[in-house]
Structure 1
Amino acid sequence: MPLPTRAALRRRPKDDRVLGLAFILPAGIGLVAFYIWPLIRGVWLSFTEYNLLTPATFTGVDNYKRMLNDSVFWNAVKVTLEYVIINIGVQTTVALLIAVLMQRLTRSTFMRAIVLTPYLVSNVVVAMLWLWILDNTLGISNEIIRALTGESVNFFSSALAIPTIALINVWRHMGYTALLIFAGLQAIPSTVYEAGKVDGASQWTMFWRITMPLLRPILTLVLIMTIIGSFQVFDTVSVTTQGGPVNATRVLQYYIYDMAFSRFQFGYASAMAVGLLIVLATITVVQYRMTRAGETDLD
């Protein structure tokens, strides 16, 4: 059998596995260092009593028992659910409306940039901005309300605090969510709408019978992302109300932070974080399967 010539050896395709691993390695190190190892460490700490100053002491499931009997924890769950429902409902509806309007009226890149602008601002800056705008005494909004009604509104009172915080985050995130939905609308072939017009379907009928079913995969993605993000709300609460008044805005993420970095009860805080992880993973899997996100009606 003749040996391959030099020209044949040069034409032989190169093995890119080493190059691929070299590109993946930095991201892999970051994944292990900042995600996988902290996750494993957090799960371990959830079974211990640890205050940062002394070695962790294994306590079994005591932290989880304490969590189930903690009234402040369950209040935090209730407050968080209230925030999630308001934020998800309003944000998804407004984002869908904006996406449809962009699809029907204009597809200008400039308009997309304008819609995305609030999302580019830091959450802390947005919270500080709206805290000033909605201030009970000096805020611009209350100056207008007083001029019209003679009274002011305390937007960060017990009854209005969570809806106010939810709507602040809706304002910041709705542009990004709208662009995700807009991308899904762009992927729907125009031929299906032309077929609907031939069949005599109205715009409203085509929206519910064509647009919404074909948007199911992207809407599922949006809902999963927004639900996970909503359960992790922290910075807006920290800047505006610090969990008050009383526990009216003490969301779960803020309660975990308070336990870990104010009271140094890292074991108990880790147990609550693991509980939140399990809840979010369950919601994601159930939602993904119920909405059949991996399937499309275009086939």
Structure 2
Amino acid sequence: MTTLANARPGQRRSLWSRIRSGEAHLVLFFLLPASIGLVAFYLWPAIRGAYLSFTDYNVLSDPTPVGLANYQRLLGDDLFWNSLGVTAVYVVINIGVQTIVAVLLALLLHRATSSTLVRGIALMPYFVANVVVALVWYFMLDYQVGIVNQMLTWLGIDPVAFFGDPELAVPTIAMINVWRHAGYTALLVFAGLQAINPSVYEAADLDGAGERAKFFRITLPLLRPILAMVLVITVTGSFQVFDTVSVTTNGGPVNATRVIYLYIYNLAFGQLDFGYASAISVVLFLLLAGVAFLQIKLLRSNQTDLD
């Protein structure tokens, strides 16, 4: 196929003329719906939120400019720092466990089965709404009547307050979301495994390399770009946890699970303090952008160790 970069002058003009005549209109036609959604539901709310972060706004009256007062208030807000710390703990547990489980599951799907049905079953939890998953696990882990605690009682173990213990609540919520998202993450890793040339493993077999050596010296290095992308997606998504916490603990016990998104929601829709909630949202956006940038740089997502 002739490209604009290597085409001769006459060919280049014909390509541009085709784009101007019909192909550009076709491209714009397909991009228009997504562009409208992007502007209406992402770009404009982001700009509006950034503006409101410099105001005192409660919906009932017009925004009143307050300069950097909301950001100064944020520095001394113990609840903000607590919610940020709780979110960070959740992210570390969720991402650490989910990544390990997803890689192992992807390897299992890649080597043990070629059945589309089995691979689809591994992905099924992801298609269930977060609220439904949270409710199911909430009742299963209930201290009084939950089936998990009933089984523990049959085994002679005392019931466990999974959502009532401040030390167990965050890990419990993290494991619930690992159960739901591990299949989807494994699918992304599985796609990366499919792209690895089998001849690389054949050469390793000829050299007498074992399974462990092949995994750490071939598979993981070649999966670096995929794993970098997966980590950026999962870390950003984990910071946005809200529905699971809202359904199960609503921030309790004693703010032990009050994640940053729940805090923003309570400020905006519970206390009608939209200006301060917008300021925290802006800070969270900058934080996530910085984390994503560092991940891409440190993990060298554009190359593998074998480049």
Q: Where does residue 7 of structure 1 map in the other structure? A: none
How far apart in 2 are the matches of 1:246 and 1:223? 30
Question: How far apart, CA to CA, are the structure 1 residues paired with 2:25 and 2:220?
Answer: 45
Q: 1:250 aligns to what?
A: 258
How far did residue 298 of structure 1 move? 5.9
Inter-partner Cα distance in structure 1 for 2:157 and 2:213 = 46
Pairing partner for 1:209 from 217, 226, 230 = 217
Which residue of structure 2 aligns with residue 3 of structure 1? Answer: none
Amino acid at match of 2:260: L
User: Match for residue 28 of structure 1?
Assistant: 35
SS at match of 1:16: helix
Which residue in 1 is equivalent to 2:9?
A: none
CA distance in 2, matches of 1:279, 1:297: 28
Q: Does 2:92 align with 1:85? A: yes
Work out the CA distance in 2 between the residues paired with 1:137 and 1:210. 49
Match of 2:187 in 1: 179
- How big is the alpha-carbon RMSD for the aligned residues of Structure 1 and Structure 2? 1.1
The equivalent residue for 2:107 is: 100
- Which stretch shows the higher mean deviation, 207-216 or 196-205? 196-205
TM-score, length basis structure 2? 0.92
Shift of 1:297: 4.9
Aligned residues: 288
Identify the residue that residue 8 of structure 1 maps to in structure 2.
none
Q: How does 1:1-299 map to 2 (within 5 A)?
A: 13=18, 14-156=21-163, 157-297=165-305
SS in 2 for 1:247: coil
Q: Which runs of 4+ in 1 moved over 3 A?
A: 296-299
Aligned counterparts of 1:91 and 1:281: Cα–Cα separation in 2: 21
For 1:149, what is the secondary structure of its paired residue? coil
Letter in 1 for 2:68: V
Please list the CA deviations of residues 17-76 of structure 1 after superposition, one character each: whole Å capped at 9, or x if unmatched: 122212211111111100000000000001111001010011111111111100011000
Q: Shift in Å at residue 150 of structure 1? A: 4.9
Instruction: Flag structure 1 segments of 5+ consecutive residues without an equivalent.
Output: 1-11
Give the distance between the partners of 1:58 and 1:152, measured in 2 at CA. Answer: 53
Counterpart code for 1:131 = Y
Calculate the TM-score normalised by the size of structure 1: 0.94
Distance in structure 2 (CA, Å) of the matches to 1:44 and 1:105: 53
Q: Percent of pairs identical after alignment?
A: 57
Deviations along 1:218-253, whole A, 9 cap, x unmatched?
000110010001000000000000000110000001
Can you give the 5+ residue segments of structure 2 that lack an aligned partner in the other structure? 1-16
- Taking the aligned partners of 1:155 and 1:274, their CA distance within structure 2 comes to 33
Name the CA distance, whole Å, in 1 between partners of 2:242 and 2:85: 15
SS in structure 2 at match of 1:200: coil
Q: Are 2:221 and 2:306, in contact at CA under 8 Å, matched by a contact in 1?
A: no
Q: Structure 1 residues 136 and 56 mapped into 2: Cα distance closer, same or farther (>3 Å)?
A: same
Deviates more, 1:125-134 or 1:197-206: 197-206
Separation of aligned partners in 1, 2:158 and 2:28? 65
Paired amino acid for 1:66: R
- Determine the C-alpha separation between the residues in 2 that align with 1:200 and 1:298: 19
**Whole-angstrom distance in 1 between the partners of 2:57 and 2:171:** 35
CA–CA separation in structure 2 for the residues paired with 1:297 and 1:84: 27
Counterpart-to-counterpart distance in 2, 1:112 and 1:104: 12
